[in-house]
Amino acid sequence: MSPTTTRHAEQFDDAAQQREAATFGMWTFLATEILFFGVLFAAYTVFRTLWPDAFASGSRHTDLLLGSLETAVLLTSSFTVALAVRDIQLGGRAMAMWLLVATAILGVAFLAIHGVEYYADYKAAVIPGIRYEEVGSLAPAKQLFFVLYYVTTLFHGLHVTIGVLLLALMARRVRRGDFSADEYTPLEISALYWHLVDIVWVFVFPLYYLVGRS
């Protein structure tokens, strides 16, 4: 496992072909991830169509400031991981490692902010099945909003956690000199994964935080 060499597995003609196959495999995986979250988005579309007032009311319970901050944090993390890949492509190393560390820290910050939101939700008693004290005609349908909100954000949080671990591993490998300007496929596909996690949140934000604000 000598670092900074352009090795490739025997079934490939060269490192470029191997990288293309790995990238294609990653995009195929990302397509399945879109469907994974797509089921939740489809359920959201159905329930919101059936109970629009309950969803608008439920959305007003979410913290818009923290949601916006979380979005900004994830968008910035996409920027830093893209810069890390760029640095490696240009033959860099130290800067790429710190950019990956910064991206992982932004991921942890996102999870921490979301933890604050969950705690506030617990205190406000809007967690169905655990602590739910909403009353009124919209209360039963609002449970559907909150159930979908927690399932979606918890699964997204799980993906962020996996991404943080992946990025930390990539930072370690960059530090060790495992990648070069010619061979950085694991870093590239890890960055693709992180960007998808960002894209999912880009859609979660308006659907769960911006409804019924006018």
Binding residues for another protein (CB under 8 A): 16, 19-20, 23-24, 27-28, 30-35, 38-39, 41-42, 45-46, 49-50, 64, 68, 71-72, 75-76, 78-79, 81-83, 85-86, 89-90, 181-182, 191-192, 195, 198-199, 202-203, 205-207, 210-211, 213-214
Return the number of the residue (49 or 135) whose C-beta is nearest another protein: 49
Share of the chain residues as helix, strand and coil, in percent rounded to the nearest 5: 75, 0, 20
Instruction: Encode burial over 107-129: b for 16+ CB neighbours within 10 A, e otherwise.
Output: bebbeeebeeeeeebeeeebbbe
Write down the least CB distance from residue 9 to another protein, Å: 17
Q: Which parts of 44-202 are beta strand (E)?
A: 126-127, 131-132
Min dist CB 28 to another protein, Å, is 5
Residue placing its CB nearer to another protein in the complex, 17 or 122 = 17
- For 9, counting Cβ atoms within 10 Å of its Cβ (0-12 exposed, 13-18 middle, 19+ buried), the class is exposed
Is 19 in contact with 185 (CB distance < 8 Å)? Answer: yes
Q: Rank residues 8 and 132 by Cβ distance to another protein and give the closer one.
A: 8
Residue whose CB is less far from another protein, 36 or 122 = 36
